[in-house]
Amino acid sequence: MTNRISHWIEGKTWSGVADRGGDVFDPATGEVRARVDFAGVQEVMEAVAAARRALPAWRNTSLAARGRVLFAFRELLAARKHELARIVSSEHGKVESDAAGEVARAVENVEFACGAPQLLKGGFSENASTGVDVYSLAQPLGVVGVISPFNFPAMVPLWFVPNAIACGNTVVLKPSEKDPSAANFIAALFAEAGLPDGVLNVLHGDKVAVDGLLEHPDVKAISFVGSTPIARYVYETGTRHGKRVQALGGAKNHMVVLPDADLDLAADAAVSAGFGSAGERCMAVSVVVAVDPVGDELVAKIAERISKLKVGAGADPESEMGPLVTAAHRAKVESYVDAGLAAGAELVVDGREVRTVSGEPGGFWLGPTLFDRVSPDMSIYTDEIFGPVLSVLRSATYDDALSVVNANPYGNGTAIFTNDGGASRRFQHEVEVGMVGVNVPIPVPVGYYSFGGWKDSLFGDSHAYGPEGFHFFTRTKVVTSRWLDPSHGGVNLGFPRNT
């Protein structure tokens, strides 16, 4: 019998009958491992209503009590991190070591949220006017929605959910229907940690569920991570319905390699950042810009390392790269390999030749693929492929390389490899990208900074997690207070004066 995955509403698994659903695959075998319920309009209403009912009590719960729940959740998550990593690997396809890294970053974000009492302190100005004090309060928004992608089914929900509930909000989480089990696991851990019923609800499904959250009048804010076209849709639809929205979109992350760089370090970084998680991450390096004259040597070093990578099932401890998430996505990524060849790029390593590995022949396999001499007009450069396809562009100078990066419509992450501190400092100042790595291939900020790009990689004015995450999930109230001394001698109804 196929396992059923259903919604988590008001502290328990939903027991209703779904009108629609979808298959959840094991990417290493191609077999259906579960069936997930898809929410209709009624289920959206149920989840939001549960969050709305839980809001007054949770909003009025002390910071200390909220903190105790978060600390308990952190301990449970750390204790069961390997179990969660296996769940992620089994449905997404990434190797378990990669999934474990994802969970480790999730724990880091929870630890930051545990500092809510410090982060939610307001300001106070005594005697702003004679006998008048002014202070600010950071208060929750209400019910908030989180819409997360398939590529990080544990980490991305935990970018948002801990901060949202630490601030006193209640949450409806809509994870990807491709790998939904991690969200339910997280919700059950929160319940075990003492989170009251209804504070966190999980709603599975497709566009019906997304639109339901975007349009529901009781949902006050939306956090989203996904492709740029959908991020734009979420932002425009959510704001049209009066919501605060942070929508993180796609990327085309460049790694600039200057002639003085350590080429072994750069090649290692290109391979790990380009093919980790099979390239299915918004911070993957998908473009290497090699500044003359290092291109030939760098490409050779990257190709040599690719030849040694073991592609296999995520549960195989020897695997270094797993399959893609679905057959449809594999076909889409493979079509870009065909398009690159047709456009005249040089195919150095052909990942289409990887068919049967340590999983099953029916798995969604595509090996690491390397193109050289790519030009900015080719689709393998212009489009976010979201797969294990790495493109190398050649550039004559630093200025040319910088122009390539800045001309790209995406601005999520970038990196520069060099031993020249002056060049590095100039690059981080001039590049029009939100996150920059210096001799670091994936510049994902630690939990106490915030994550987010520029240009078409972000819609809204707030980045994810960290200090900006707390700002996003609260609204500020300013109080002007006057307590008259008992000897004031009566009430003066005139306009207050500063004396």
Collapsing DSSP to helix, strand or coil, 52 comes out as helix
Pinpoint the alpha helices (H) of 375-492.
379-382, 398-407, 421-430, 466-472
Diameter of the chain measured on Cα atoms: 91
Residue type for position 15:
S
Tokens of 203: 């709603």
The length of the chain is 499
Q: Closest by alpha carbon to 203, among 9, 50, 51, 42?
A: 9
Instruction: Name residue, tokens 């040089």.
Output: 346
Annotation says 114 is catalytic: no
Q: Measured at the alpha carbon of residue 451, what is the angle toward residues 445 and 452, in degrees to the nearest 5?
A: 135
Q: Measured at the alpha carbon of residue 82, what is the angle toward residues 209 and 145, in degrees to the nearest 5?
A: 20
The CA distance from 252 to 393, in Å, is 13
Q: Closest by alpha carbon to 169, among 58, 12, 62?
A: 58
Residue 167: which residues within 8 A CB-CB, separation 6 or more? 116, 120, 138, 140, 141, 470, 473, 474
The CA distance from 216 to 241, in Å, is 8
Other C-beta atoms closer than 10 Å to the C-beta of 482 total: 10
* The pairing of beta strand 454-455 with beta strand 458-459: unpaired
Beta bridge partners of 288: 255, 392
Catalytic annotation, pick one of 282, 309, 378, 442: 282
Cite the active site residues.
Answer: 282
